[in-house]
Amino acid sequence: MKIKNEIDENDSAIENTIKHRNFPQVPKVIFGKGSFNQLDEILLPERKHIDAPFIFLVDDVFKNTMLAKNVPLRFNDELIFVSSAEEPKTKQVDELVGLIREKYESLPSGIVGIGGGTLLDLAKAVSLLLTNKGSAADYQGWDLIQKSSIYHVGVPTISGTGAEVSRTTVLLGPDKKLGINSDFTVFDQVILDPDLSIGVPKNQWFYTGMDCYIHCIESLNGTYLNAFSKSYGEMALELCKEVYLEDIDKQESREKLMMASWHGGMSIAYSQVGVAHAMSYGLSYLLGVKHGIGNCLVFQHLEEFYGDSVKLFNKMKEKHQIDLPSGICKELTEDDFNTLCNVALKMEPLWENALGKNWKERITREKLKSIYRKI
Ligand SMILES: [Fe+2]
């Protein structure tokens, strides 16, 4: 008995040496139909002085729309329209930072990103690079950022990426697609106005929503899963099912998907994504395939890893009559397939989450290539 007690004590001593992650969350969030109209009053106390503008980075699909007209510009604030046709790039961040530094003597009061994941990620990255020297590419990785960013606000206009809640900003760099993961990346304020997602094209709505669905599946089936991630992941998954499989009212659907995105993002914050994300990163890097559709293109072929969840994905796809493009990898050379595999296999935490510590024994280049060939 004495021996047993000693073993128990040793075990708990080992438990106590495990270092748990301590990560920040968005400190302020406002949710509700029409809440975008409160942006002006939210920004007012954050204005440093009359010459320190707010810079609004807005998706250029909103050019000449009511949303653009309602951006609360004051003093020398600036609205910059940015295309989200391509994945956000480190070069793009450097250019925006250069532009702002050149034009204004002092730091702006803040950056506001209005749009989908691309705009949210750009806003986060620009706010970081205004206070940290060098190129955005220097900071792709984990906790390389040294100085706190300037104040930054995220206003999602499409739901699913979880970018509004994450501590990363995923960028395409000269030699990799990787996030700037840091405590300073997290938004200071998020505005969740479900009405802003009115008018999102159906395909886009599906691909981006499925990013959230896949976050849930990869988190809930991962080896990193814990009670924190599970609670958020299960909630987000239920909301996704309601939105994509039931016939609910459109307003309710927008609200639920917005909250699914938030919860899905919270779920992966304390766990990790998995196979679809790792492989989708390869498609983005080599072919510029956007994140949401890239995940869908991969996920449909992952029954071996995610079984019934892939069947459910196909059911949702059929219900909404979504045709995914095919033949994306048809013309690729052997070198191209190797690049796809190199990028995917570099995402080690994702594989470890998906397949466990001995993931290298369970996944081969040939296996990856055989999946890519189907896309
Ligand atoms: Fe994602």
Q: What is the pLDDT of residue 1?
A: 44
CA of 53 to the centre of ligand 1 (A): 32
β-pair type (54-59, 78-82): parallel
What's the pLDDT tens digit per position in 9-29? 555 555 556 788 888 999 999
Query: DSSP 3-state assignment of 315?
Result: helix
> How far, in Å, CA of 85 to CA of 22, rounded?
35
In Å, how far from its chain's centre is CA 255?
Answer: 19
Start and end residues for every CATH 1.20.1090.10 domain found in the chain: 202-372
CA of 55 to the centre of ligand 1 (A): 26
Across 206-227, b (16+ Cβ under 10 Å) vs e yields: bbbbbbbbbbbbbbbbbebbee
> How far, in Å, CA of 110 to CA of 127, rounded?
7
HSE, side-chain direction, 13 A CA sphere, residue 262: 21
Contact between 184 and 124 under an 8 Å Cβ cutoff? The reply is: no
What's the pLDDT tens digit per position in 109-162? 999 999 999 999 999 999 999 999 999 999 999 999 999 999 999 999 999 999
pTM given for the model: 0.93
Q: What is the pLDDT of residue 23?
A: 86
CA of 325 to the centre of ligand 1 (A): 19
Burial of 264 per CB tally in 10 Å (0-12, 13-18, 19+): buried
pLDDT mean over 34-55: 97
State in Å, rounded, how far the first CA of the chain is from the last one. 59
The percentage of residues in the chain with a pLDDT greater than 90, rounded to a whole number, is 91
Q: What are 91's two structure tokens?
A: 């070069």
What's the pLDDT tens digit per position in 148-174? 999 999 999 999 999 999 999 999 999
130 Cβ contact partners less than 8 Å away, ≥ 6 residues apart: 97, 100, 101, 107, 108, 111, 149, 150
CA of 223 to the centre of ligand 1 (A): 18
CA of 114 to the centre of ligand 1 (A): 18
Distances (CA, A) of 11 to 70, 113, 357: 59, 47, 21
Does the pLDDT value for residue 5 go beyond 90? no
> How far, in Å, CA of 321 to CA of 139, rounded?
40
**Average per-residue pLDDT for the chain:** 94
Q: Which amino acid is at 294?
A: G
Start and end residues for every CATH 3.40.50.1970 domain found in the chain: 28-197
Strand partners, 30: 191
Domain 202-372: CATH superfamily, name plus number? Dehydroquinate synthase-like - alpha domain (1.20.1090.10)
Contact between 182 and 169 under an 8 Å Cβ cutoff? The reply is: no
Contact between 93 and 126 under an 8 Å Cβ cutoff? The reply is: yes
Q: What is the pLDDT of residue 194?
A: 98
CA of 150 to the centre of ligand 1 (A): 25
* CATH class of the region 28-197: alpha beta
Strand ranges in the chain using DSSP code E only, listed in sequence order: 28-31, 54-59, 78-82, 110-115, 141-142, 152-156, 170-172, 177-181, 189-192
Contact between 187 and 164 under an 8 Å Cβ cutoff? The reply is: yes
Q: What are 49's two structure tokens?
A: 């002085």
CA of 96 to the centre of ligand 1 (A): 24
Distances (CA, A) of 375 to 16, 215, 279, 298: 45, 20, 11, 7
CA of 207 to the centre of ligand 1 (A): 10
Lookup result for tokens 């990103």 = 113
CA of 205 to the centre of ligand 1 (A): 14
What's the pLDDT tens digit per position in 301-356? 999 999 999 999 999 999 999 999 999 999 999 999 999 999 999 999 999 999 99
What's the pLDDT tens digit per position in 259-305? 999 999 999 998 999 999 999 999 999 999 999 999 999 999 999 99
- H and E: helices and strands count for the chain: 15, 9
Angle formed at CA 126 by CA 121 and CA 131, multiple of 5 degrees: 135
